[in-house]
Amino acid sequence: MIPIEFFLAFAAILFAIGAYGVITKTNTIIVLMCIELMLNAANINFIAFSGFLGDAMGQVFVIMTISVAAAEVAVGIAILLNAYKIKKTTETDSLTCMRW
Amino acid sequence: MFIEYTWLVPLIPALCFVLVGFFGNKMGKTGGGYLAIAGVAVSCLLSVLISYEFFTSAAYASPGYYTESMTWFTFPGGFEITIGFYVDTLACLMMMFASFISMLIFVYSLGYMGEEGKRKRRYFAEVALFVTGMLGLAISSSFIEMFIFWEIMGLCSYLLIGFWSFNHPEGDDKADNAASAAKKAFLVTRLGDVSLMGGLFVMLYAFGSLDYTVVFDAANIASVDHNLIIIACLLIFGGVIGKSAQFPLLDWLPDAMAGPTTVSALIHAATMVKAGVYLVARCFPIFCEASSVMLLVAVIGGVTMFFAATMAMNNMNIKKVLAYSTLSQLGYMFLALGAGGYMIAIGIETGDTALIAAGSLGYTAGCLHMVNHAFFKALLFLCSGSVIHSTGTEDMREMGGLGPKMKVTSITMLIGSLSIAGFPFFAGFFSKDLIIEQALHAADYGTAGWIFIVLWALAIITAFMTAFYMFRMWYMTFRGPEGPKTQHCHGESPKSMTVPLMVLSIFAFGFGFVLLFGFDGLLSINVDLATGQFFVGGGHAEGLEYLVEFFTNPWTYLTIVLVIAAIIIAKFMYDKRKINPGKFNKNGTSWLYRALASRWWFPELYNQVSWKLGYGVARGVDYVDRNIVDGAVNGLSNAVVGSGDILSKAQTGNVRNYAAVVLGGIVVLFVVILALFYFMGGL
């Protein structure tokens, strides 16, 4: 049996990588991918605690999260495509019109 | 039968005000004038019927009044404000003469305001409201109701004095005067009204109610702190001073001549200034609590009486002379009420029934003079209006010799002048001599009696001056050489104007006789010494005793001689022109003449006070408002907007920054929670 700390450490590392990518990368597609990484880090935590506590509810939530994440990616990519049509770029630094 | 419908008396003119105000221009050429006249005529008839019913009812003997009221609203503290009517002889008297004289003035207005066109609608609507105010005041059953009607009259006086203009157009002195006079009348009386309101608050605090039945009840008066009543009386008298234009708030009334003459007649005879006299007469039960309050009333009245009469002596404006004479006659009324009340107050203290009966005569004299004055002053004003209508000027130097051209006006005005001068057997004679007698009588009692000697002397001198200035006016207008405007005057005025003059002159001559034929009981006030309760009416029908009293009193002959002498002097100065008035005043350069012409510098004083004090206060208030009140509000909004501006800089629009902030926030939160766990061992 692998101790739960390993899972948690792995998820934390994964989350940190994702967060680092969201903050530093200027390409919006990579930012989206990094968000997926963070999401998966949370999923791993769910699974780990589910196994640790012997409760299936965590796994149920993971399945739901994955389906919601799929929809979310579809919406995100659609927004991105439209933004690209207008601005001819996907750089986050240039997409700053949503402010005062 | 009728008395239950007393509330209709003010309501009918109020209804006329609404109807004329909205639909006057659809009611033919008079702009609703006929409706207004009909309304007041109905009120007049109704008040006569009510009065008759009251005098023959059981309520007249005991308790001396008939009242009905209903609750208007209740304050959380248990104070109840009622609205209703209160009929006693004083209210009957006021209702009858106010509605009757107003009716005649309205009829006269048909002729006098005949050329005003569309503005007649406004005129008739406003005068109807004015009469509503007076009739409502007369029948009010509580002080708060009285105050409402009191204020309605204040508003109407403003609207009507400024009838010609409320603006100050460049280069139009007449419009400018009218607008200033209206403002002055409103603001000066407002000063008094604030004082009156203060008095009402004190009364509400003292009695817990403002109903006449509660406030004038002897048991309630006895149970209330004496000093509170005196404070309330003084504050109420402040309101009276403003409304009845007594010293020192007397200056608005002469200026109010800028309005139409009919309005002057209405203000001086039937409404407005009479409200103050009425209020003092009404408040006798509480005013008589202290002889010092009544002394103040008498002194204010005496001073006004004398000073106003002096100012009338050299004025050249026919309406201004009449305005000063009104002030002077109002002074007489307050002198009478004050002297009578002074004796009653002392009589109550010492338990002297005879003295109370003597003091009651002062009340009779004051009320009788109020009614007499209403008749002859309405007559005089309407006559002067007739003259102004015909000649188109108010300056008496431009008139002269009008007598043959305006026979009715000149004769009726002569009757009015004789009456106000106190010529024997005219109405004014009875009331004025009774007042003078009262002033002398009061001098025998109390520690402050010597003041009444002075007031009595002033009253006699004023009687002389009154006769002089009235006949100066009459001779300058109707006798002597023809003035420049006399040549092209229009002749006698139309019937609608002369008929009211004739009716009024009958009353101006004959109303004094009511005193002789048993009606003086209606004008009197009595005190039940055992309970201290005041009764208006009942009284002491001495009838012809008054004649004996008058003509066995040597001082009566003195006033008669002085009055006749004054008339003869006026005749020689302004009719025969044997004596040149100019040699008494160095042709208008003596200091006395200049003092009178500038009204004893009263307007100057008003201006100084209002500029130095009023304007200073206003500037201070303005500064506080702009810089402190507005400053606080503006500062708050500036702070909010400014901080918003600064904070909005954080919104870069770059998602990466937002993400970094969110993440940083989470980290900080996490660290804080960890620290809490570490240092405190749990939350």
A15's tokens: 């989350």
10 Å CB burial of residue B547 (0-12, 13-18, 19+) is middle
Residue B600 per-residue DSSP state: G
**Chain A CB contacts of B653 below 8 Å:** 95-99
Q: What is B225-290 written as a DSSP string?
A: -HHHHHHHHHHHHHHHHHHTT-TTS-THHHHGGGS-HHHHHIIIIISTHHHHHHHHHHTHHHHTT-
Query: Cα A31–A37–A38 angle (5° rounding)?
Result: 95
Distance from CA of B662 to the nearest CA of A (A): 10
Report the pLDDT value the prediction gives residue B132, as an integer from 0 to 100: 92
Residues 6 or more apart in contact with residue B21 via CB below 8 angstroms: B121, B122, B125
Q: How many CA atoms lie within 13 A of B135 on its CB side?
A: 33
Q: Are B618 and B339 in contact (CB under 8 A)?
A: no
Q: Tell me if residue B607 falls in helix, strand or coil.
A: helix
Report the pLDDT value the prediction gives residue B173, as an integer from 0 to 100: 75
Whether the upstream peptide bond of residue B63 has omega within 30° of 0, thus cis, is yes
Q: Measured between CB atoms, does A88 come within 8 Å of chain B?
A: no
Q: Which long-range contacts (CB under 8 A, 24 or more apart) does B11-16 make?
A: B11/B132, B12/B39, B12/B40, B12/B42, B12/B43, B12/B46, B13/B39, B13/B40, B13/B43, B13/B128, B13/B129, B13/B131, B13/B132, B13/B135, B14/B128, B14/B129, B14/B132, B15/B39, B16/B40, B16/B125, B16/B128
Helices (H) and strands (E) in chain A, counts: 3, 0
The rounded distance, in Å, linking the Cα atoms of B129 and B19 is 11
Cα-trace Rg, chain B? 31
Given the DSSP bridges, would you call strands B525-528 and B533-536 parallel, antiparallel or unpaired?
antiparallel
Q: Using the structure block, give the residue that is written with the tokens 């206003």.
A: B618
**Chain A CB contacts of B656 below 8 Å:** 22-24, 26, 31, 92-93
Report the pLDDT value the prediction gives residue B542, as an integer from 0 to 100: 66
SS (H, E, C) B58-74: HHHHCCCCEEEEEEEEE
Q: Are B271 and B373 in contact (CB under 8 A)?
A: no
Q: Are B104 and B504 in contact (CB under 8 A)?
A: yes
Task: Identify the CA nearest to B59 among candidates B123, B4, B119.
Answer: B4
**Chain B CB contacts of A26 below 8 Å:** 656
Give the max Cα distance, chain B: 120
**Chain B CB contacts of A23 below 8 Å:** 656, 659-660, 663
Q: Do B659 and A23 touch (CB under 8 A)?
A: yes
pLDDT at A86 over 80: yes
Distance from CA of B180 to the nearest CA of A (A): 56
Task: Identify the CA nearest to B488 among candidates B395, B626, B571, B393.
Answer: B393
A24, A31, A100 ranked by CB distance to B648: nearest: A100
Question: To probe the interface with A, which of B648, B649, B656 has the most A CB atoms within 10 Å?
Answer: B656
Tell which A residues from 21 to 40 touch B, by Cβ distance under 8 Å: 22-24, 26, 31
Q: Which class would CATH give A4-87?
A: mainly alpha
**Chain B CB contacts of A100 below 8 Å:** 648, 651
Q: Tell me if residue B517 falls in helix, strand or coil.
A: coil
The rounded distance, in Å, linking the Cα atoms of B305 and B337 is 13
Distance from CA of B632 to the nearest CA of A (A): 28
Q: Measured between CB atoms, does A92 come within 8 Å of chain B?
A: yes
Distance from CA of B649 to the nearest CA of A (A): 9
Domain positions in chain A: 4-87
Distance from CA of A63 to the nearest CA of B (A): 26
Q: Measured between CB atoms, does A97 come within 8 Å of chain B?
A: yes
Q: Measured between CB atoms, does A80 come within 8 Å of chain B?
A: no
Report the pLDDT value the prediction gives residue B184, as an integer from 0 to 100: 84
Question: To probe the interface with A, which of B649, B655, B657, B658 has the most A CB atoms within 10 Å?
Answer: B655
Whether the upstream peptide bond of residue B581 has omega within 30° of 0, thus cis, is no
The rounded distance, in Å, linking the Cα atoms of B382 and B400 is 18
**Chain B CB contacts of A31 below 8 Å:** 655-656
Q: Do A23 and B655 touch (CB under 8 A)?
A: no
Amino acid at B669: L
User: B506 phi and psi, to 5 degrees?
Assistant: -60, -45
B652, B653, B660 ranked by CB distance to A23: nearest: B660
Residue B138 has a CB neighbour count (10 Å cut-off) of 30
Residue of B nearest to A16 (CA): B663
Question: To probe the interface with B, which of A15, A22, A94, A97 has the most B CB atoms within 10 Å?
Answer: A22
Q: Tell me if residue A51 falls in helix, strand or coil.
A: helix
Residue B171 has a CB neighbour count (10 Å cut-off) of 6
Residues 6 or more apart in contact with residue B591 via CB below 8 angstroms: none
Residues 6 or more apart in contact with residue B579 via CB below 8 angstroms: B569, B572, B573
pLDDT at A100 over 60: no
Residue B639 has a CB neighbour count (10 Å cut-off) of 10
Distance from CA of B661 to the nearest CA of A (A): 10
Q: Measured between CB atoms, does A73 come within 8 Å of chain B?
A: no
Mean per-residue pLDDT of chain A: 89
User: B405 phi and psi, to 5 degrees?
Assistant: -85, -25
Would you say the C-alpha torsion B399, B403, B407, B413 has a positive or negative sign? positive
**Chain A CB contacts of B658 below 8 Å:** none
Q: How many CB pairs under 8 A join A and B?
A: 30
The rounded distance, in Å, linking the Cα atoms of B263 and B271 is 10
For residue B83, give the H/E element and its range: strand B80-87
A3's tokens: 């101790």
Distance from CA of B635 to the nearest CA of A (A): 24
The packing angle between helices A57-87 and A28-53, to 10°, is 180
B654, B655, B663 ranked by CB distance to A19: nearest: B663
Distance from CA of B663 to the nearest CA of A (A): 8
Residue of A nearest to B657 (CA): A23
Q: Do A22 and B651 touch (CB under 8 A)?
A: no
Q: Which residues of B touch A (CB under 8 A)?
A: 648, 651-656, 659-660, 663
Low-confidence ranges of chain B (pLDDT < 50): none
Task: Identify the CA nearest to B276 among candidates B398, B359, B163, B154.
Answer: B154
Report the pLDDT value the prediction gives residue B541, as an integer from 0 to 100: 58
Count of positions (residues) in chain A:
100
Amino acid at A84: Y
